[in-house]
Each structure stands twice: as structure tokens, then as C-alpha cells.
Amino acid sequence: MTYAVESANDLRRTHMCGVLTEADTDREVVLMGWVQKRRDHGGLIFVDLRDRWGVVQVVFSPEYSQEALNKADRIRSEYVIAVVGRVQKRPEGTENPNLATGAIEIHVAQARILNAAKTPPFYIEDGVEVDENIRLRYRYLDLRRPEMQRALELRHKAAKTTRDFLDGRGFIEVETPMLTKSTPEGARDYLVPSRVNPGSFYALPQSPQLFKQILMVSGIDRYFQIVRCFRDEDLRADRQPEFTQIDMEMSFVSAEDVMEVTESMIAEICRQATGLEVKVPFPRLTYQEALDRFGTDKPDLRFGLELVDISDVAAGCGFKVFRSAVQAGGLVKGILAPGCGGYSRKEIDELTQFALTYKAKGLAYFIVTEDGLKAPIAKFFSEDELVAIRTRFGARPGDLILFVADQPTVVYATLGALRRLLGERLDLTKDAGYRFTWVVDFPLLEFNDEEGRFVAVHHPFTAPREEDILLLASEPGRVRAQAYDLVLNGVELGGGSIRIHRRDLQEKVFEVIGLTPDEALEKFGFLLEAFDYGTPPHGGIAFGFDRLVMLLAGRGTIRDVMAFPKTQSASDLMTDAPDKVSRRQLRELHIGLDIQKVDK
């Protein structure tokens, strides 16, 4: 059965539901919102009325208005209603200490049903247990839940604080194009066909990198933008096809200048958005130190479990797997799992299988007992070697030591992942707060075996360390970058660098990564030409705004801090995008589809 909805045009909302207190007692108010819950006590109906500011209890009684009570008999959850009533203290003993408005209630004199609602597919409340695809299909309902609205409010505060802070530091916000040129050295571009230029395509920007450097050539000096970016890449919890960056660029600065501005801004965002005080400056780790100690360039500093190198001990031991790895130029490193010496064979086998997924050939181990190190491989080590290993790890009875012996990239990747796994299993991150760190001195280039060439670790516009420039011609893999990544709790928030600002050096880097002069001109000619007209030294940083808000909100995925995210298959379940388009639209764009080939 349906009921005609009513108008509220002659009513003006006087208060938000969640802001009323005992100080408002006896005040007449007009409230509007959604019915959170309805409770019929036989002649007396209680409704929890919700809006973005919170929930308040409204009471329908024949004592206040029989007409309003009759309407309350018809309303259901998620109906949109307006009520006119008077604020009163709740009867003694009926207060709700878990509700901000729990000391008062509204005695309703007039009610209007502004819109009816179907029964929602899930409860509109925090902590709801429902498949995420259902939440995304009915995103407009999911966003009604208080925890989702708190996340969006946190996002808003962080964005506002960013703008206010950077404005105070002399930055100006400049919008850069959404339709731009496809360039190499990144993820796949999202392409947009041009109707007026048949056969030509725009690309949606993966970042405003080239434009912000052009702005430095233009004399803007200090630029920022909270900007939407697009990358056609495989998705996971902290990736989306479209995402938001805080993008910054500055002229006449060093890496230290950029890091200082960023640290101060992050500290202000934390203070204003969450009330959290963050200590600055953030600690610094070199790229190699991060790998050596934590197995990753995105270290989580909330707990220890640092990697320990025993390659010198392993080089002369009787265990062939260890000895051979060192002789082949590899490493033997391990990690101490405190209190895990009681792990069963099955549990150790599970850890071994985990290590195999990172291309390790296996996982060796020692169990620490009162009598020393025990394991099937112990017989291959002398007593002095066993004592040296135990001492180096600071191991105690009841601990477990896990080892990987292989080439450095495999050792680091495996133990870095194993460290994160153990940190979670041992609950070492609980109540550990926020631990920021900078990782610096990255290599400028790395050799890609599949492509048979050097590629940029960050991007090809990153400046090399001045003292390493000559190595570009002879040993490109040894060149260090003037680059820096910001890491929070094991998550890379973003990275930046001092940029190349000389044409000759930029052309040399293009040459090293395999671009011919003609290719460089075709893809980046406008940038190279700009460098001929007096380009200042400059640098900047860009970091993931979604990731930052996700971590500050304590969420496990950036989808929970974005209003309308995509699934991991890059689909929008609410609007059913992407979708097919008409043949007429394709003809206008001069596009033909070989569907059979695409389906394969």
C-alpha cells in the first residue's frame, strides 16, 4: 500500500538532528531526516530520526497530536519525514548515554511524510555485514551509513586543510588539462577518441607531471592541485582507475625544502582532520637501508622484526643451499619470529608456501630452545656457527628464526612480505599509531630484463645526483636519483624528486632508457623546447590523497573513502559502467570494433 507524500515548502528546518542538547529544552524545532528505527509501544510510537549530524528520538503520542500519531503508524525505516515538535528532557532512567542527543527527545505536534522508501537491501547502520558488491550496487544507501559519512567528512577536512596550508605557504592552485597527450613510461593510458581529429586520441592524465614542470618554466614558482588522475592498471585495495593526488611543485628548492613543506602539511592535516599530533621531521632511510633492514622500500616502522644478514657465517658453513647462494653473489638473511618456536610442522609449511609465492626456493628455519638451535639443518653447522647465528638475532628460547638464501631481490621481497605477515599475525601493529618515514637515495634507473633496457624507477624526469651524472654513460644502474618517497605504516603515500631542468641532461636520460631522438621529440618535444627558454631548478611531490584519508580513517581500502569507487574489475555497479555505446556514436568517432577479436 502506498501513501501520497506531502510537501515541506512551508516549513523551514531549524536544527539538525544530532546537535540538540538539554540546553534546547522547551524549544520548538523543525527537523527533517530519515527514519532510522520505529518502535510501536501501543498508542505511543518512538522514532529515531537521522540526518548527517546524528540521531534524535522523536515521540508520537495522542497527548501531543493524534494526527501526527496516525501518520507515524504508516512510516517505516528510511522514510523521509519532517516533524514539528518541542524539545523535552527524557524521563529519568530512560536516557541513552550512547547517543549524543540521548538526554532529550522531541514531542511531535506535526508530522509530514516527504517520501516513502522500499525496504533497503541492508541495514543503514555502522558495521553492517554485507557483500561489498551489494554496497556498491546501492552506493546511495551505503553512503547514508554514519561511518561512511564520517569518512567523507574526514576527506573534506583533509582537502580543506591542504588548501589552507599551501595557500599560507605561497602556493597557488592551477588546474591542468584532463585531455592530454599519451606518453610512455607509465601505466596504460585511458584513451579518449577525438571526433574532430579522426584517428587521433587524447589520454586522460596519469598525473600532471609535465604540466606542473611547464608551470615552473612559466614562473608560477609554487603550484599545487588536488587533482584527479587515471591509470588503466590492475586494481587492488589501494588502487582505483581514477584517484586523487595532492600534487605540488616548487622552483629554486632542494629535496630538503620539498620534504619540509610536505611534513608540515601532513602534520597539519592530521591535526585538523583527526586531532592527532604528528612529530616532525619524519625519520629518513636510504633506499638500501630500507631494503637491508625491512626487505622493502615501503617499510612499516610500527614494529621491529628487522632482517638479519648471516651471509658471512653462511659462506663457510656445511649447508650447501646457504653456501651456494653466497658464492653466486646472493644473500642469506633471516627474520626472528618471537614466541613462534612452538609452531607446528604444518604452520611452518604454510610459511614456506607463502615464501614460494615470492620466488624463493624454500624457507629454512631454526627453533630456539634452552639447549640451542634445533632443526633438521642444524647438523650442517658447527657449534660456533650456531652460537653466532643465535647471538646475531638476539634469539631466546621459544623463538623461531626463518631464513631465505637467494639473489638479493628474492631475499628482500620474500622476507619483506614475511615480516608484514608476522607483524599482522603477532598483532604487533595494534595501537601503534602512525609512523611516517622518508625513503631517499633511490636508484635512478633499473634494468628491465623483459624489455632488455633500463627504465626509470620513478619517472624519466627525475634528476640524478650531481656526482653521479657521469655514470649515465658508463654505469647507468649505479646512478642515484634525487628522489624521495613518503611512507606511512608500510604504505607508500607518494613520491617526488628534484626534476631535470636542462635539455641536454633530459635528452641523455631519454637516450639511456632507449628513446631515439625522434621518439623523444615526438613524445616530449614541447617539454624539451620549453627547457630552451630559461627553466629554473625545480622539484615537487605527489601523493595519494585517497590512501592518506584511508589510513587516517582506519579503513582497509580506499573504496571506503571515495564516494563512488569502482570494483576491482574497474566497473561501477551502480551506473553499470563501462557500457556499450551506439553504432552512431562510434561512426561519429570514426571507430570500428572487431568484436570477435576483442572477445578472444
How far, in Å, are 104, 153, 433 from residue 99 at the CA level? 10, 20, 27
Terminal alpha carbon distance of the chain = 50
pLDDT at 598: 43
Closest CA to 158 of 561, 502, 540, 440: 561
pLDDT at 596: 61
pLDDT at 185: 60
pLDDT at 4: 66
How far from chain centre, in Å, is Cα 322? 38
pLDDT at 431: 79
Residue 241 carries which DSSP code?
Answer: S
Buried b (16+ CB within 10 A) or exposed e, 354-373: ebeebebeebbbbbbeeebb
Q: Where would I find the H helices in 84-138? A: 132-137
Single-letter amino acid, residue 437: T
* pLDDT one digit per residue (tens) for the chain, 600 residues: 455 678 888 899 999 999 999 999 999 999 999 999 999 998 899 999 999 999 999 999 999 999 999 999 999 999 999 999 999 999 999 999 999 999 999 999 999 999 999 999 999 999 999 999 999 999 999 999 999 999 999 999 999 999 999 999 999 999 999 999 998 666 899 999 999 999 999 999 999 999 999 999 999 999 999 999 999 987 776 789 999 999 999 999 999 999 999 999 999 999 999 999 999 999 999 999 999 999 999 999 999 999 999 999 999 999 999 999 999 999 999 999 999 999 999 999 999 999 999 999 999 999 999 999 999 999 999 999 999 999 999 999 999 999 999 999 999 999 999 999 999 999 998 878 899 999 999 999 999 988 899 999 999 999 999 999 999 999 999 999 999 999 999 999 999 999 999 999 999 999 999 999 999 999 999 999 999 999 999 999 999 999 999 999 999 899 999 999 999 889 999 999 999 999 999 999 999 888 665 443
Enumerate domains of the chain plus CATH numbers: 17-115 (2.40.50.140), 303-428 (3.30.1360.30)
Q: How far apart are CA 450 and CA 587, in angstroms?
A: 38
Single-letter amino acid, residue 418: L
